[in-house]
Amino acid sequence: MNLNDGKIMVTGAASGLGRCFALNFKKAGAQVLAFDVDEEGLAALKEEHPDIVTATGSVASEEDVKAAVKTGVDAFGGLNGLVNNAGIFRDALLVKQNRDTGKLRTMTLDEWQAVVDVNLTGTFLCTREVAAQMVQSGQSGVIVNISSCSRHGNRGQGNYSATKAGVVADTKLWAEELARHKIRVGAVAPGFTQTPILDGMRPEMLEKLLSQVPLRRAGQPEEIYMAVKFIFECGYFTGRCIDVDGGISM
C-alpha cells in the first residue's frame, strides 16, 4: 500500500506507540482515525495535528468500535488500514504465597478478564468491523496487530502473555481467511519500548529490565513504527509476526 492512499484507523492512539503511529502515518500522507478511551489525550493529539480525525471509546465495547469505524467511513469514505495497538496489562502471579504469613494472593478474575477484553477481544472486534467494511466495499487493505515479546510467556503476565500469543495466532488465521479479499494481516511484537510506562519506572528497576536486552537499551517508538510501515508497504507480507525487541529472549 502506498501510504498516500491510506485511510488508517489506529487504536490506543492517544499516547505511547499509538500516538507515534498516528502522527507518522499522517506525516507519510495517510488519512488517520485515532481511536482511544482517553479523550484528553486525543484532544492533545488533534491539537498537534488538526487533520487527524478522532473517536472516543473502548475497543472492548462492540458499540464503541462500530461507532468508531462509522466515523472513519463517514470522514474518509472508507477504511483500508487498521493498527490494533490498544492494550493494557494487570500483572500478577497466578498464585503467590507470603513467605511470612503463608497467605495466598491469586490473580483475580477481574485482572484476567480486563486484559483479555482489551487486548484480545478488542483486537477481534476492531478487525472484524474494519475487515467487514473492506469486504463489503470491495476495498483491499492492511491490518497490523501489535503483539509483544511477552507472547512467549513472561512471569507475572499470564493474562497479558496469553492475549499477545492469541493475537499472533489470529494474525495467521485472519491472513488466510482474508487473502481472497486482498486484505493482508501482519503482526509486530515489540520488546521494551520507550513509552510513558518505562518513563515512570524507577531508574534501578529500568536498568535491571534493560540488562536482559542484548542491545542494552529500550527501543524507540519510531523503530516499532518502521516495522508497521514495512507491513503496510510490502505487498507480499502477510500472516507473519515481526519481532522488534533488541534480541531479548523470554
Given this model, what pLDDT does residue 151 score? Answer: 86
Across all residues in the chain, what is the average pLDDT? 93
How many residues make up the chain in this entry? Answer: 250
pLDDT tier at 186, thresholds 50, 70, 90: very high
Given this model, what pLDDT does residue 149 score? Answer: 87
**CA neighbor of 82 nearest in space, from 117, 111, 43, 123:** 123
Report, as residue numbers or ranges, the catalytic residues. 160
**Over pLDDT 70: what percentage of the chain?**
98
Is 155 part of any domain? yes
Residue type, 35: F
Under DSSP, is residue 185 helix (H, G, I), strand (E, B) or coil? strand
As a whole number, mean pLDDT of residues 41-60 equals: 96
Given this model, what pLDDT does residue 11 score? Answer: 98
Domain range spanning residue 178? 3-244
Number of domains in the chain: 1
pLDDT for residue 22 is more than 90: yes
pLDDT for residue 89 is more than 90: no
- Give the pLDDT confidence of 132-163 residue by residue, as tens digits: 999 999 999 999 999 998 888 788 888 999 99
CATH number at residue 112: 3.40.50.720
Is 249 part of any domain? no
Q: What is the β-pairing status of strands 95-97 and 31-36?
A: unpaired
pTM of the full structure: 0.93
